[in-house]
Structure 1
Amino acid sequence: MTDYFERDDARYTKVYKKHTPDILAAFGAFDDAVFAPEGREIPLKYRELMALAVGLTTQCAYCIDFHTEACVKAGASDAEIAEAAWVATAIRAGGGYAHGRLAFKLTEQHRH
């Protein structure tokens, strides 16, 4: 996905552990709560599909890899993953459309 992405990049977590163990632990607890298998209103499969869509939108290779696997483990079908990808695509394209309007607004301001 990128020239820098490798599956064993997690080994660099040791830098966080050494310098900011408290923040790393807090982030881990937060992430565990967000993706807890039970006890949330939105079923895990849908939370994972949302996470995948966000990863696709931000183009984070690590998130795409991790949450694709998590989607499969949570029971997401290929069709559901495809739709999540299209949702991400629509949002990303919509951002370009909406920010294009901002460019028109700024163009108008710069001409006056």
Structure 2
Amino acid sequence: MTEKDISAYGRVYKKHTPDIMKTWGEFNSAVFSEEREVPVKYLELIAIGVAMTTQCEYCIESHTARAVEAGATDAELAEASWVAAALRAGGAFTHGRLAFKNAEEHRHTH
């Protein structure tokens, strides 16, 4: 299924929850506004890192396009990618410590 095939289903949101769609659009526009303290290029690089972490290919595509339009370089895109990779790895490391804690507790109760 292509993005065009999927994007057509946005009409379901518009039909059943137009108020939420309107609010969502306004919120998204406010978050990525040029009136923010953080420049748009950096907002978009943050969004790319988050999108890579959540693994949303559509967010990666759209925020990459916006970042490039705002002047992001390939080096900046690469660094945003590595930041996302480091945070995902850090999450696994942290959850590994939780596994050790849970194992210890399990051993003491059984």
Q: Would the TM-score normalized by the shorter structure come out above 0.5?
A: yes
Shift of residue 19 of structure 1? 0.3
2:21 to 12, 17, 24: 24
Shift of residue 106 of structure 1? 0.1
Segments of structure 1 that go 5 or more residues without pairing to the other structure are: none
- What one-letter code is carried by the residue in structure 1 that aligns with 2:25? G
Secondary structure in structure 2 of the residue aligned to 1:76 = coil
Match of 2:59 in 1: 63
Counterparts of residues 35-54 of structure 1 (less than 5 Å): 35-36=32-33, 38-54=34-50
Counterparts of residues 1-112 of structure 1 (less than 5 Å): 4=1, 6-8=2-4, 9-36=6-33, 38-112=34-108
Kindly name which structure, 1 or 2, has the bigger radius of gyration based on alpha carbons. Answer: 2
In 2, Cα distance between equivalents of 1:56 and 1:75 = 20
Segments of structure 2 that go 5 or more residues without pairing to the other structure are: none
Q: Tell me the C-alpha RMSD between the 2 structures.
A: 0.8
Shift of residue 7 of structure 1? 2.4
Aligned residues with identical type, % of pairs: 59
Runs (4+) of structure 1 exceeding 2 A deviation are none
Provide the TM-score with structure 1 as the length reference. 0.93
Q: How many residues align?
A: 107
